[in-house]
Amino acid sequence: MDLFGASVAPIVAFFLLGELAVLVTLIVAIILARLHKGSIHHYLVLIAFLSDSLLFKPLMLSRASSAWGSWPWDGTRIAPHLLVSIVAAVLGVLAVVLGFRYRVKKGSKMFLPPKGKLHRTIGWLFLVLWLLTFTVGIVIFLETYFP
């Protein structure tokens, strides 16, 4: 498959487009949280997190193992990318659990009570680490297919 002038395997293009979809979903979810549309926010984050953690990350790990061999993938940035991704996934699980645990519904809007500040803090940490992982993943993609 030809993507931006480089020959890219279809599965790699699927990863790239899938991660971009996860990014867009997370951005929309954050906007909805700021608008106090908590229930939609919760389910969008859950969909983005589960699709990323259960679909894209395992497929990318298997692709890295088949393309570059086994751990520690010398000469690539995959090992630090993987470690940051694992930390982001743990924070994502915590943020999702806390988000569903601490929520108050007033009419059609949802709010976080004072205990929900932990959810917000961990959620922002998750987002920052996820964006770091996403950025490093894009760098790995560019280094691999545009040397």
Q: pLDDT tens across 57-95, in order?
A: 888 877 777 666 666 666 677 778 888 989 999 999 998
Q: Say which residue, 126 or 96, is predicted with more confidence.
A: 126
Number of domains in the chain: 1
**Is the peptide bond preceding residue 72 cis, with omega within 30 degrees of 0?**
yes
At 11, the pLDDT band (50, 70, 90 cuts) reads: confident
Range of the domain at 43: 2-145
Report the alpha-carbon distance of residue 19 to residue 4 in Å, rounded. 17
Average pLDDT of the segment spanning 25-48: 87
CB 137 within 8 A of CB 12: no
Long-range contacts of 52-55 (CB under 8 A, 24+ apart): 52/19, 52/22, 52/130, 53/89, 53/92, 55/18
